């Protein structure tokens, strides 16, 4: 197996190398169900997935071919669990994966994959590579081989309830301060409400105006809603780091808060992976169907607009919309933001391949949070500049705070003025009286 | 028993037995794994429709990716169609199958089959050159890729030699041709050639999952 160039992998814990390898591979193999085994058996090594991955397209480095990022785990599956594993093992046709290889693959599985799933659209076999990368991350976590920046955020989220350390007290203070500053009613910790609203850590640290916008929209549309200081953080760094236990804990915080206030709907904020984690994975963490529905805020706004409960004044501008991968391509909520933009009267200039084929911003899946991946992330982002300029709209909107942070950071890096603004804030700024 | 008798008799039977048992083993071993259940609320219940749609749609090149994938798509389609046309529509093959199974169907003129055989060989050579030259394919490729390629081109190439009476005594060539097919049959269940089965399952699983989430199958 060709190894990526040497780099120093991050390690957690004091396990022996053998324990790390056993843990990673056993975890992956135990996770293997019929569907994932079929995916692993199906690959014909055609390499087409490379053409859908911006890390490969932007660097030309073949190691960034999506399915190559799974190579140690594919080998382990064939040697340890596949239908002919006895041949592979007895004849050593597939060698036993080493901890050195797993360490080398840390870069490919975390720094060079945003879990955007674009590769799943080109694969002629229909393999959902992104879901396999997610499984491989579980194994890497079990081996204590997670990038330290991402691990630290996940650990903090597990310990405090928020990746940036926003405690319930800080959350309450923030909500009360914003309510006071903006003379707004921001319901908090109500015993009962139809809708439980959540937020992402970036809203407290970087985009408090999004919290204000959320309150304005919810109040305008007449919802019976609340925030809960027991379950407000929608980001799920447990999932991104590969720690299933932490992912479950983070999902359960929101599930318990929603059940406590008898909410029929939980609204996920403008955060891509939060939507993926809660809309599509939380029920599996919970172990039964959720007793409420889950909507991304763009879905809620589209629904409220169509029902006539959320009225806006027309906006005289053209705009492009950057689809957050986990909301559109991976989440199926592609039309909701377009419905909102249409209601606003925005002249939509779709980005090339806009919608489910949209290129990722390059910062999802935890990549934005891994400091050592910055240069690679900038290289991956570069194509977004070309896309946005080609679309030629006045403004650019998105509905993911992580995408916004990445556009800002990469924009500064490339001295490019365009920023990705919040769809939620656009609506809040243009509510009809 | 000479080589041709072996190839026509026990060789063919053993190859068929290994192929059938191997395919069954590989499929059953996978189907006995745990099935994943998804408890999230589906956006749509039309998962079967989604599965079939993706099975069909993924057979056609997507215009978004076509500028980069056209060669693979074109060569892939060409050698697959060529291989199966030669296998199933060459009159001597039909007669051979009729002798075993008792069923037959109309074939194509020999000249057309020879032409298709030549096109298939060139398409397979093109695929090999690309695999050897493209950095991504070089990195991904393993023994299975090259050996499966060799065993796929061998029956077509030996068949063409046989049709032209080139290289060696006709009966020996026929035996070599039959043995090349039998080797392909033996290798089939252990190799990437099993994608003949997995492609439909894999596409179907993803298509159903996409439909469940309300994602367009693309």
Per the rule left: phi > 0, alpha: psi between -120 and 50, beta: everything else, A190 is: beta
pTM (whole model) above 0.90: yes
Whether B34 and A2 lie within 8 Å, measured CB to CB: no
Whether B215 and A356 lie within 8 Å, measured CB to CB: yes
Whether A289 and B41 lie within 8 Å, measured CB to CB: yes
Question: Would you state the structure tokens that stand for residue A339, as one six-digit string?
Answer: 């419905």
pLDDT, one tens digit per residue, over B35-72 is 989 999 999 999 999 999 999 999 988 889 999 999 99
Confidence band for A164, pLDDT divided at 50, 70 and 90: confident
Q: A66 pLDDT exceeds 60?
A: yes
Burial of A13 (0-12, 13-18, 19+ CB in 10 A): exposed
**Mean pLDDT of all residues in A110-139:** 97
Do β-strands A293-296 and A318-322 pair in parallel, antiparallel, or remain unpaired? unpaired
| CATH 3.40.50, applies to A161-304 | yes
Distance from C-alpha of A351 to C-alpha of B92, rounded to nearest angstrom: 55
Distance from C-alpha of B45 to C-alpha of B34, rounded to nearest angstrom: 22
| B30 vs A: CB within 8 A | yes
pLDDT, one tens digit per residue, over A338-389 is 999 999 999 999 999 889 999 999 999 999 999 999 999 999 999 999 999 9
What DSSP string describes A70-112?
GHHHHHHHHHHTSTTHHHHHHTTSSPPP-HHHHHHHHIIIIIT
Task: Round the average pLDDT of chain B to a whole number and report it.
Answer: 95
**Whether the Cβ atoms of residue A272 and residue A200 lie closer than 8 Å to each other:** no
How many A×B Cβ pairs under 8 Å?
161
Nearest one of B61, B92, B141 to A2, comparing CA atoms: B141
Residues of B whose CB is below 8 A from A45 = 137, 140-142, 145, 192
Q: A308 pLDDT exceeds 70?
A: yes
**Mean pLDDT of all residues in B161-166:** 81
**What are the structural domain ranges in chain A?**
17-146, 161-304, 306-429
Q: What angle do CA A354, A392, A269 make, to 5 degrees?
A: 50
**What are the structural domain ranges in chain B?**
3-17+71-213
Q: So what's the pLDDT on residue A353?
A: 83
Q: Which residues contact A9 (CB under 8 A, 6 or more apart)?
A: A103, A104, A106, A107, A145
Instruction: Compare CB distances from B39 to A56, A288, A333 and report the shortest one's residue.
Output: A288
Whether A357 and B145 lie within 8 Å, measured CB to CB: no
Look at the block and give the residue holding tokens 């399915």.
Answer: A67
Confidence band for A5, pLDDT divided at 50, 70 and 90: low
| B40 vs A: CB within 8 A | yes
Q: Which whole-number Å values give the CA distances from A306 to A303, A340, A342, B36, in the listed order? A: 5, 9, 11, 36
Whether B26 and A288 lie within 8 Å, measured CB to CB: no
Question: Would you state the structure tokens that stand for residue B121, as one six-digit string?
Answer: 């060989």
| B216 vs A: CB within 8 A | yes
Confidence band for A137, pLDDT divided at 50, 70 and 90: very high
Whether B215 and A287 lie within 8 Å, measured CB to CB: no
**Mean pLDDT of all residues in B85-109:** 95
Question: What distance in Å separates residue B183's CA from the closest CA in chain A?
Answer: 18
pLDDT, one tens digit per residue, over A240-279 is 999 999 999 999 999 999 999 999 999 999 999 999 999 9
Distance from C-alpha of A101 to C-alpha of A73, rounded to nearest angstrom: 10
The answer for B 117-176 residues in CB contact with A (under 8 A) is 134-142, 145
**Whether the Cβ atoms of residue A32 and residue A73 lie closer than 8 Å to each other:** no
Instruction: Compare CB distances from A42 to B72, B190, B202 and report the shortest one's residue.
Output: B202
Whether A334 and B216 lie within 8 Å, measured CB to CB: yes
Residues of A whose CB is below 8 A from B214 = 332-333
Question: What distance in Å separates residue A28's CA from the closest CA in chain B?
Answer: 13
Q: A327 pLDDT exceeds 60?
A: yes
Instruction: Compare CB distances from A32 to B33, B55, B199 and report the shortest one's residue.
Output: B33
Q: B131 pLDDT exceeds 80?
A: yes
Q: Return the residue of B nearest to A130 by Cα.
A: B206
Question: What distance in Å separates residue A253's CA from the closest CA in chain B?
Answer: 17
Distance from C-alpha of B75 to C-alpha of A258, rounded to nearest angstrom: 54
Q: Which residues contact B42 (CB under 8 A, 6 or more apart)?
A: B212, B213
Least confident range from A197-206, A358-367, A400-409: namely A197-206
Question: What distance in Å separates residue B110's CA from the closest CA in chain A?
Answer: 32
**Whether the Cβ atoms of residue A78 and residue A166 lie closer than 8 Å to each other:** no
Question: What distance in Å separates residue A221's CA from the closest CA in chain B?
Answer: 24
**Whether the Cβ atoms of residue A50 and residue A123 lie closer than 8 Å to each other:** no
Fold of A17-146: Fumarate Reductase Iron-sulfur Protein; Chain B, domain 2 (1.10.1060)
Whether A38 and B72 lie within 8 Å, measured CB to CB: no
| CATH 3.30.200, applies to A306-429 | no
Question: What distance in Å separates residue B153's CA from the closest CA in chain A?
Answer: 17
Q: Most B CBs within 10 Å: which of A28, A36, A41, as the mutation test of the B interface? A: A41
Nearest one of A65, A61, A75, A25 to A45, comparing CA atoms: A65
Whether A65 and B29 lie within 8 Å, measured CB to CB: no
């Amino acid at each position: 197996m060709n190894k990526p160039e040497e780099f120093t992998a991050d390690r957690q814990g004091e396990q022996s190398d053998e324990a790390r390898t056993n843990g990673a591979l056993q975890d992956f193999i135990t996770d293997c169900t019929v569907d994932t085994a079929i995916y692993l058996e199906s690959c014909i090594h055609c390499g087409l997935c490379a053409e859908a991955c911006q890390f490969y397209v932007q660097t030309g480095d073949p190691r960034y071919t999506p399915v190559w990022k799974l190579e140690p785990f594919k080998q382990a599956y064939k040697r340890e669990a596949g239908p002919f594993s006895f041949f592979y093992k007895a004849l050593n046709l597939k060698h036993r994966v080493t901890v050195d290889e797993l360490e080398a693959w840390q870069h490919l599985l975390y720094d060079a994959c945003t879990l955007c799933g674009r590769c799943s659209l080109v694969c002629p076999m229909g393999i959902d590579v992104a879901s396999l990368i997610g499984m491989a991350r579980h194994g890497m976590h079990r081996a204590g081989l997670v990038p330290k920046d991402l691990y630290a955020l996940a650990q903090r989220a597990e310990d405090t309830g928020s990746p940036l350390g926003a405690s319930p007290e800080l959350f309450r203070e923030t909500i009360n301060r914003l309510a006071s500053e903006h003379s707004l009613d921001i319901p908090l910790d109500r015993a009962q409400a139809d809708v439980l609203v959540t937020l992402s850590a970036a809203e407290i640290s970087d985009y408090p105006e999004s919290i204000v916008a959320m309150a304005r929209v919810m109040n305008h549309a007449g919802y019976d809603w609340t925030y809960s200081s027991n379950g407000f953080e929608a980001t799920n760094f447990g999932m991104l780091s590969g720690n299933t236990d932490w992912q479950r804990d983070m999902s359960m915080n929101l599930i318990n808060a929603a059940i406590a206030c008898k909410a029929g709907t939980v609204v996920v904020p403008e955060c891509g992976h939060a939507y993926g984690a809660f809309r599509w994975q939380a029920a599996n963490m919970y172990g039964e169907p959720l007793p409420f529905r889950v909507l991304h805020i763009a879905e809620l706004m589209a629904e409220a607009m169509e029902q006539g409960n959320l009225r806006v004044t027309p906006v005289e501008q053209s705009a492009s919309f950057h689809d957050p991968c986990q909301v559109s391509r991976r989440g199926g909520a592609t039309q909701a933001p377009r419905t909102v933009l249409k209601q606003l009267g925005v002249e939509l200039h779709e980005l090339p391949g806009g919608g489910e084929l949209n290129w990722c911003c390059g910062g999802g899946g935890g990549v934005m949070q891994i400091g050592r991946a910055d240069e690679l992330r900038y290289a991956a982002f570069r194509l977004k500049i070309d896309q946005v300029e080609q679309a030629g709209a006045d403004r650019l909107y998105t509905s993911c705070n992580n995408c916004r942070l990445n556009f800002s950071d990469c924009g500064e890096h490339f001295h490019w003025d365009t920023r990705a603004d919040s769809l939620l804030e656009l609506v809040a700024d243009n509510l009809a009286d | 028993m000479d080589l041709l008798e072996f190839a026509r008799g026990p060789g063919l039977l053993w190859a068929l037995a290994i192929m059938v048992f191997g395919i069954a083993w590989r499929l059953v071993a996978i189907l006995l794994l745990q099935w994943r259940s998804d408890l999230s609320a589906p956006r749509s219940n039309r998962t079967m429709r989604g599965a079939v749609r993706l099975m069909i749609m993924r057979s056609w090149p997507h215009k978004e990716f076509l500028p980069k994938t056209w060669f693979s798509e074109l060569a892939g389609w060409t050698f697959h169609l060529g291989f199966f046309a030669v296998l199933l529509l060459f009159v001597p093959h039909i007669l051979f199958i009729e002798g075993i199974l008792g069923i037959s169907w109309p074939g194509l003129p020999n000249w057309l089959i020879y032409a298709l055989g030549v096109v298939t060989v060139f398409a397979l050579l093109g695929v090999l050159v690309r695999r050897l030259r493209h950095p991504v394919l070089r990195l991904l490729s393993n023994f299975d890729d090259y050996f499966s390629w060799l065993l796929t081109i061998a029956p077509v190439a030996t068949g063409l030699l046989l049709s032209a009476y080139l290289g060696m005594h006709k009966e020996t060539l026929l035996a070599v041709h039959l043995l090349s097919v039998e080797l392909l049959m033996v290798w089939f269940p252990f190799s990437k050639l099993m994608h003949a089965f997995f492609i439909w399952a894999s596409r179907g699983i993803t298509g159903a999952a996409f439909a469940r989430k309300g994602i367009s199958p693309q």
